[in-house]
Amino acid sequence: MGLLVKHRWFVLIAVVVVLAALAPGLATSLKPDHTLDVWFLDDDPNLEAYETFQQNFGNDEVVVVRSETPAGGLSREALTTMVEVSDLLSRIDGVEQVHSALSVMIATSEEGARRHPIALELGDVPDSETELDNFAEQARAHPLIEGHLLDNEGDGYALVVQMEATSDFDDRRPRILTDIEEVLQSIFGDRDYQRGGVGVIYQALNDLTERDFGIFLGLGYLMIFALLWWVFRSVRLVLAALFAVAGGTVAALGAMGWLGIQVNMITVLLPTLIAVLGIADAMHFPISYRRVSRARPDADDATVLAESLRAAALPCLMTTVTTMAGFAALASSSLAGVRQLGIFAVVGVGAAFVISIPVMAVALYGRGRDGVQELPAVEAFLALMKRWVTDSPRIVGLGLVLVIAVSAVGASKVTADTYTLGFLPADHDVVKDDEALEDALGPYIPLEWTYEPHEDRLVESAELLDKSAAFARRAQAHDRTGTALHMGQLYRFVAEELLGDVGEQPLSPEQVADLRELFVELGHGDESMTELMGMVSADQRLGRITIAVEMMSASKLAETIDELQQMADEEFEDAATVRPSGYLPLYATVINHIVDSQIRSFGIAVLLIFLLMLLWLRSPRLALISLIPNLFPVLVMLGAMGFLGIHLDAVTAVVAAIVIGVAIDDTVHFLHSWRRAEQDGGDWSDHLDRAMREVGPAICITTLVLVAGYSVLLLADLVTVIYFGLLTIVAAAAAMIGEFLLLPLLLRGLNKSPPSDGEST
């Protein structure tokens, strides 16, 4: 360390040069990535199935727009506005087409059936009142309009905006949704309208996440560095800590950018992780400097600095390595975003540690003999902790057992789930629009199904049309579903228009064959009308059934899909293979990925940490003990989640990584001091006194900084940000209790040295 102290400025300049080389990568990494790659790996079968669906039927993401007029949803005023809005929306780059009562209407004429053109113009609105009345009568009987494009009371109408299926659609979604909103504002102005859909909800969540994390994390960082100034009373030391964590962040995000990886909803937490863990390590250098300077009052500044850096660097190196091992375990996750978080957290945490040594060497040199001011409140708190664990070990032990037992009960109540709409505040416009849409239209989110005929059956055969209708009827009876769209409705509607009342019996093969020829004539070019309407794939190998469902959590959606799948299997039997398709099944499988990832990565992290602690401490006793205070805050956090009804999802699961990182940092420093005390002799009380004196202040201050900084997040609007702040506070406090109370009691129970005469047993 003497050489580092001597050449500290050259080393710091070298660090700055490296960071400057990585900094251009920020231009790429800081562009948010909203693609499904966040949740799924490229070879994930669920993602492949979704891409296959898009190739056959296009993008299943839609925006549902609803408005109403005093005269009704099929009045001349409503139809004229419908045409105007549809025309403007269809011109937006990224919109495939706009469905309305005018675009899907099939009417009858002397020549048979005809369909209004998709290209909407004002002339499509019926001219005379008689034609308008006839149009309204036929529209209300139309299976593709009633309940879909006309609300249940008939007062309002709906437009369904279908997006284009492009490889970069997820990146383009924000711009498309903004353009749609601008059109709606230009037409409706102050008039009431609602818009909803998975993409609308998802984008609102993204926007609020970026806003809340930006504002409140910024305020949190101000609070953190204000507290650091209160502790250090030195702008130089505060800036040094800031430079270390900022450098680690630049290293992580810069490396991401150079590899062409953009930040996403999960990796957006990287700056937070690096700041928390970087500050936790940086805290030990000034405190070590104060301790060494007081022990060596006659040594020169360079010697004191070298010894203090050496004393703090070894345990900090071990905490960094164990923390990196814990994050490296996330690389086993099946969630791409979590995997990226683990990999680049390793880069950032490692870089923050490396940077902190030369930065603190520059900041502490010539600082004087204190390095950090006395903190009477902290000293009093540490004395209280020591007195509790020394004078009342049984009472403290019983209290900890009670906390563990209660936390275990709460943890047993935790379920893995995610509900994007529920993350938004109850008074958010998107939430209110969703409620209004469901009141007017019923469940409106499309859950897609495809069926592939077996043997030589045709997708549009009479048999499969009948089976799809039977499945749709059963599906609509489910308490979480609404209307259904399928080819059976279309065939029966046109058959009744042309053939009169066909009764309740299934259409005959001859009737279906005649109608298929008609649909080909009504089509465009080589496409039949059923293909144009997206009910059958271009190769005639897949049929499509759309069941409207309410917006629900992933676990409820997975349960609903399983129940509908059973109905489909029973109705289609061996005639066709029926599969859920589109985006919603992907959303439902996220929970399985979260649970599997957390179990796997957590198990790997615990094993790696144990092996590293065993290698470093060279004591199976201490290595085993070291795991318990690290698991304690995780259990307490899970207990809090269970009692508060907070689900395990990708965001709340990341808190466990923060907890492990902070707890490992505290444990390593505590045991490093404890082991040195054992080597110097003395009893359990002497070892505890030394550990509390040497590392207790840093642990206490780090916890105080985290609790104060993250309490700001409780003021956010987004529920996920509030949960993130709350759980971090709970876990950080529990980690400190684990170090000051639980760990000493465990060491007392396995103490090598006999207790002193005055020590209770």
- At 546-557, the pLDDT tens digits run 999 999 988 899
pLDDT, average across residues 308-329: 83
Locate the DSSP E strands across 272-376: none
pLDDT, average across residues 484-494: 88
Return the ∠ at Cα 226 (arms to 221 and 232), rounded to 5°: 125
Q: Can you say whether the dihedral through the CA atoms of 308, 309, 314, 319 is positive or negative?
A: positive
Distance (Å, whole) CA 10 – CA 3: 11
Residue 120 has pLDDT above 50, yes or no: no
Q: Which of 240-254, 352-366, 641-655, 745-759 has the lowest mean pLDDT?
A: 745-759
Distance (Å, whole) CA 372 – CA 236: 12
- Tell me if 623 sits within 8 A of 617, measured CB to CB: yes
Residue 587 has pLDDT above 60, yes or no: yes
Residue 499 has pLDDT above 70, yes or no: yes
Distance (Å, whole) CA 283 – CA 306: 17
- Spatial CB neighbours of 219, under 8 Å, sequence gap ≥ 6: 712
- Tell me if 25 sits within 8 A of 405, measured CB to CB: no
- At 418-471, the pLDDT tens digits run 888 888 888 899 999 999 999 988 999 999 999 999 988 899 999 999 999 999
Neighbour tally for 174: CB within 10 Å: 15
- At 349-390, the pLDDT tens digits run 999 999 999 998 888 877 665 555 667 888 899 999 999 999
pLDDT, average across residues 696-711: 82
CA 377 to chain centre: 39
- At 184-202, the pLDDT tens digits run 999 988 778 999 998 898 8
Distance (Å, whole) CA 46 – CA 617: 45
In the block, residue with structure tokens 């919603």: 584
Q: Which long-range contacts (CB under 8 A, 24 or more apart) does 630-633 make?
A: 630/660, 630/663, 630/664, 630/667, 630/735, 630/738, 631/606, 632/404, 632/663, 632/734, 632/735, 632/737, 632/738, 632/742, 633/659, 633/662, 633/663, 633/731, 633/732, 633/734, 633/735, 633/738
Instruction: Report the residue count for the chain.
Output: 761
**pLDDT band at residue 43 using 50, 70 and 90 as cut-offs:** low
Which one of 3.40.50.150, 1.20.1640.10, 3.40.50.300, 2.40.50.140 gives the CATH number of domain 2-36+204-412+589-749? 1.20.1640.10
Nearest of 592, 593, 582 to residue 559 by alpha carbon: 592
| Residue of 500 and 194 predicted with greater confidence | 194
Distance (Å, whole) CA 141 – CA 125: 18
pLDDT, average across residues 671-696: 86
**pLDDT band at residue 268 using 50, 70 and 90 as cut-offs:** confident
Domain with CATH 1.20.1640.10 in the chain: 2-36+204-412+589-749
Return the ∠ at Cα 145 (arms to 141 and 148), rounded to 5°: 130
Residue 298 has pLDDT above 90, yes or no: no
